[in-house]
Amino acid sequence: MGQAAIRLECSRSQMGETMHTSRCLFFLPVLVLHVMVVEGGVAQASACLTNRDTASLHVQAVTRIVTTGDSARLVQQGIPYRPPAGVSLVTDSLICRATVNAYNAMDSNASTNISRAYVMKVGTTAYALCDGTPGPVYIFWDTAYHWIAGLVA
């Protein structure tokens, strides 16, 4: 629950100890359920977009970029050309979060920040990010989350 603390007090009522105990026993599970739902929802939010159909289109587009693009230009930019490991969708929330954070750090305007993205692993040395907006523009990062290039598919 982070820094917040919840204080539950059950005071004795004029109705006696039985009423006091049953009132506490009723509210405690309600409180616990509420905390589980609220905290669980926050904890489960991932920065990875993973819609199967859309992700497949992005993996195909990035694969096309790294296999049919100008090999000299791609290598000069640090993007792997025809990577033996191929292109795959990232589902690791830590990698997605780090990539989204790197993207958001590129612009000081908080209104353009994103919270989730499609992230693809390109070979073993790069990632490609697409925020899911029509376009699409792919932002390439090295594995230390340094910007490499932005390419339109």
Residue-wise pLDDT for 92-130, tens only, equals 999 999 999 999 999 989 999 999 999 999 999 999 999
Q: Which one has a higher pLDDT value, 127 or 12?
A: 127
Domain residue extents for the chain: 1-44, 52-152
Check residue 126 and report its DSSP letter: E
Percentage with pLDDT > 70 across the chain: 71
Mean pLDDT over residues 85-94, rounded?
97
pLDDT of 90 reads: 98
Q: What is the pLDDT of residue 10?
A: 42
CB 90 within 8 A of CB 55: no
Chain mean pLDDT for the chain = 80
DSSP state of 80: P
φ and ψ at 133, to 5 degrees?
A: -80, 155
Provide mean pLDDT across the span 5-15: 44
The answer, yes or no, to whether residue 21 has pLDDT greater than 60, is no
**Per-residue pLDDT tens over the stretch 36-66:** 333 334 445 899 999 999 999 999 999 999 9
d(CA 88, CA 120): 5
12: confidence class by pLDDT, cuts 50, 70, 90? very low
Q: Are strands 147-152 and 126-130 parallel, antiparallel or unpaired?
A: unpaired
Residue pair 147/133 in contact by the 8 Å Cβ criterion: no
